[in-house]
Structure 1
Amino acid sequence: MTRNRLLVAALLAVPALAAGCSVGDGQPERGAAMVFAVGDCVSVPATTPADPEAARADKVSCTVDPSYTVGAIADGTGACPSAEYQHLPADVADPSTARLCLVPNLVADHCYELGMPAGMVELADCAARTDRGPGVLVQVTQRLDVRDRSACPAEIGHYAWPYPSPARTYCTRTVH
């Protein structure tokens, strides 16, 4: 009988402990790994911070411009299923972010500066003609919900950015 009372007391304590473990704002504590799923939208810093823990993805609405859609999760070696995905290496991102294989979530007619690590984007002014440093300024001319490199113009300074999943192709032109 005493054993049953202990079991009941332990079972009643679990929900109380779980409720007491949450962080006040619902965000994980610094250093805690976020859990992401394929299809989640995330925001990632456009530049590489000195502290890899600062290069952390945060879940956001898919309407945030720019953001990324998690297209896949890297395998045990840290490799994405396709080289087309944007991917932050483990030496510049926290472990949960380094596992993400990302597809940019961009808007047609908007301009973005490609930052470092390669492929990380930041919203930019298309008319800005200032020295932007090592980044490249590109304009998304079309956003297509298919993976088709041939759907974009084959002109000098125009490029196709195809992604496998979610199927998406961006037609871009280099502004400067």
Structure 2
Amino acid sequence: MFAIIGGVVVVLLVVVVIIGVVASKDTITDINDAKAGDCITVSGSSTAAKPKTVDCGSDTFNFVVAEKVDGGANCANEQYSQLTQEDKGKLCLVPNMQVDKCYQLAGPGGSITDFTEVECGAKPAEGGAQVVTVKNREDATEIDCTDGIPITFEKPTPLGYCLAVNNSTG
């Protein structure tokens, strides 16, 4: 009888461990867990940003990890957003934006957590943030952008956006 109970306990422990692994696979608490090509959302505050992996095709606004560099190193260009964890390095991130949607870009001194999808008529947050509309998106570093601002990324794969600044006052 004890052998049967012991066997059931072992099976239950294995199931609990598997559930724990599956439930936690979307949570990266350490930027060392992320690799180029992964997609993440970033929530929280500038001093306590919380990354979480998501499907790159998700309806939720996310970033694509372009590369990981040492904390003191720079990303490939200034267009990349950055998520740094002390003593663990820095993730260089590409916003995964969609055509005809609007996004608030963080202003000077802002945080990656300020970069969010918003309603197209939204008033920008304080501190120099801007709201932009994505007019065009191409899987290339050259983009047709005669009526906007071209923003391009080389890593993890070539991507370009044509952005129009919204002048809405809300």
TM-score normalised over the length of structure 2 = 0.69
Contact persistence 1:86–1:120 (CA under 8 A): no
CA shift digits 1:125-170 (9 cap, x unpaired): 1133x46323211000001110126x311x4xx2111101121011
- Give the length in aligned residue pairs: 146
Unaligned regions of 5+ residues in structure 1, if any?
A: 1-15
Please state how far the C-alpha of 1:106 moved relative to its aligned partner: 0.6
Q: Work out the percentage of aligned pairs sharing the same amino acid.
A: 23
Within 5 Å, give how 1:75-94 maps onto structure 2.
Answer: 75=70, 77-88=72-83, 90=84, 93=85
Which residue number corresponds to residue 12 of structure 1? none
Please state how far the C-alpha of 1:95 moved relative to its aligned partner: 6.0
Q: Distance in 1 between matches of 2:71 and 2:159?
A: 25
CA shift digits 1:65-85 (9 cap, x unpaired): 311111111136343233332
Within 5 Å, give how 1:19-168 maps onto structure 2.
Answer: 23=20, 26-27=23-24, 32-34=29-31, 35-45=33-43, 49=45, 52=47, 54-64=48-58, 65-75=60-70, 77-88=72-83, 90=84, 93=85, 99-115=90-106, 116-117=110-111, 121-128=115-122, 130=123, 132-134=125-127, 135-148=129-142, 151-153=144-146, 155=147, 158-165=148-155, 166-168=157-159
Q: Distance in 2 between matches of 1:174 and 1:60?
A: 28
Please state how far the C-alpha of 1:55 moved relative to its aligned partner: 0.2
Q: Which has the higher strand share?
A: 2
Relative to structure 1, the CA distance from residue 131 to residue 68 in structure 2 (aligned partners, 3 Å threshold; closer, same or farther) is closer
Unaligned regions of 5+ residues in structure 2, if any?
A: 1-12
Relative to structure 1, the CA distance from residue 24 to residue 84 in structure 2 (aligned partners, 3 Å threshold; closer, same or farther) is closer
SS of match in other structure, 2:24: coil
Relative to structure 1, the CA distance from residue 87 to residue 131 in structure 2 (aligned partners, 3 Å threshold; closer, same or farther) is closer
- Among candidates 157, 160, 175, match of residue 166 of structure 2: 175
Q: Distance in 2 between matches of 1:94 and 1:56?
A: 14
SS of match in other structure, 2:131: strand
In structure 1, give the amino acid aligned to 2:126.
Answer: G
Contact persistence 2:124–2:130 (CA under 8 A): no
Contact persistence 1:43–1:59 (CA under 8 A): yes
Please state how far the C-alpha of 1:40 moved relative to its aligned partner: 0.4
The two structures, once aligned, show a CA RMSD in angstroms of 3.3
Relative to structure 1, the CA distance from residue 136 to residue 84 in structure 2 (aligned partners, 3 Å threshold; closer, same or farther) is closer
Which stretch shifts more, 54-63 or 72-81?
72-81
